Amino acid sequence: MRPRVVINVAMSLDGKLSTRERKQVKISGKEDFERVDKLKAKSDAIMVGIGTVLADDPSLTIKSDELKHKRLEKGLEENPVRVVVDSAARIPLTSSLLYKGKGRRVIAVSRRADPQKVIELKKIVTVIEGGETEVDLARLLDELGAMGVHQLMVEGGGTLISGLFAARLVDEIYTFIGNLIIGGKDAPTLADGEGFVRENDFSRLTLLEATQLGKGILLHWKVSPQ
Ligand SMILES: NC(=O)c1ccc[n+]([C@@H]2O[C@H](COP(=O)([O-])OP(=O)(O)OC[C@H]3O[C@@H](n4cnc5c(N)ncnc54)[C@H](OP(=O)(O)O)[C@@H]3O)[C@@H](O)[C@H]2O)c1
């Protein structure tokens, strides 16, 4: 069965995920950081696009020792499965998420990926192949479901999130809105990509909760069925 897809992003009041140079920005504070760590610990897998790996080099591990212990007590791996959507297998072999922290890693590639790089990757991670020029996200989710992933948390960035919306694969969204303006028409936003033109293609949301958190606000949304 296809996993439940939960997006989590932190954005500035003007809806930017980072600067126009794609430099990571501290948008939230301690309270939100702890919430995100708990959401990670409750998820079976965490997914990012290759753009985020190249820009931020995240490890995508759970930071709290207590949360890691709780997962181990439940018979789970210390960290959720870490998944990178990377059509052309551009991920550097030195990326933090490939060697930091215990747990399984999945790199999803398309037929465009260099076969030699795929062979290298297969020595250290699970490689899922699908899609001609870009990763077939619906198929990837089916394969993750078959691996036992029930809840998939998506950390961004905006291009991957837009692809997930286009394929109608998103169930829930958490947006933390921080107390800053980043600006810039080219700075990444929650859903980049081509953008939707016809009203029927817009995703409609239901607000489940709005909570003041630290110096910002956390919005929890459900994606309405189409
Ligand atoms: N504030 C936050 O919460 C937050 C969270 C995460 C990231 N960010 C920021 O977001 C920025 C990175 O975002 P980004 O938009 O450049 O990159 P991204 O969304 O992380 O990755 C996008 C890439 O994924 C690959 N991809 C493969 N198949 C795809 C498909 N079916 N649909 C969509 N993408 C597919 C494409 O590259 P290939 O064609 O090469 O495969 C695409 O360019 C960074 O600046 C980072 O700091 C912020």
Predicted pLDDT at 225: 84
Q: What is the pLDDT of residues 155-188, one digit of tens each?
A: 999 999 999 999 999 999 999 999 999 999 999 9
| CA 62/CA 37 separation, integer angstroms | 6
| CA 41/CA 56 separation, integer angstroms | 21
pLDDT over 90, % of the chain: 98
Q: What is the pLDDT of residues 3-23, one digit of tens each?
A: 999 999 999 999 999 999 999
Predicted pLDDT at 65: 98
Q: What confidence tier does 226 reach under pLDDT thresholds 50, 70, 90? A: confident
State if residue 22 touches ligand 1 by the CB under 6 angstroms criterion.
Answer: yes
* Predicted model pTM: 0.97
SS3 179: coil
Q: Give the chain's mean pLDDT.
A: 97
Q: What is the pLDDT of residues 121-145, one digit of tens each?
A: 999 999 999 999 999 999 999 999 9
Residue nearest to atom 24 of ligand 1 (CA): 49
Compute the distance from residue 102 Cα to the ligand 1 centre, in Å: 24
Which residues, listed in sequence order, are joined to residue 218 by a DSSP beta bridge? 176, 211
- The distance from CA 152 to its chain's CA centroid, rounded to whole angstroms, is 8
Which residues, listed in sequence order, are joined to residue 220 by a DSSP beta bridge? 174, 209
Residue nearest to atom 10 of ligand 1 (CA): 157
Q: What is the pLDDT of residues 38-68, one digit of tens each?
A: 999 999 999 999 999 999 999 999 999 999 9
State if residue 28 touches ligand 1 by the CB under 6 angstroms criterion.
Answer: no
State if residue 216 touches ligand 1 by the CB under 6 angstroms criterion.
Answer: no
Q: What is the pLDDT of residues 108-122, one digit of tens each?
A: 999 999 999 999 999
What top-level class would CATH report for the domain 4-223? Answer: alpha beta
- Would the CA dihedral through 212, 25, 58, 159 be positive or negative? positive
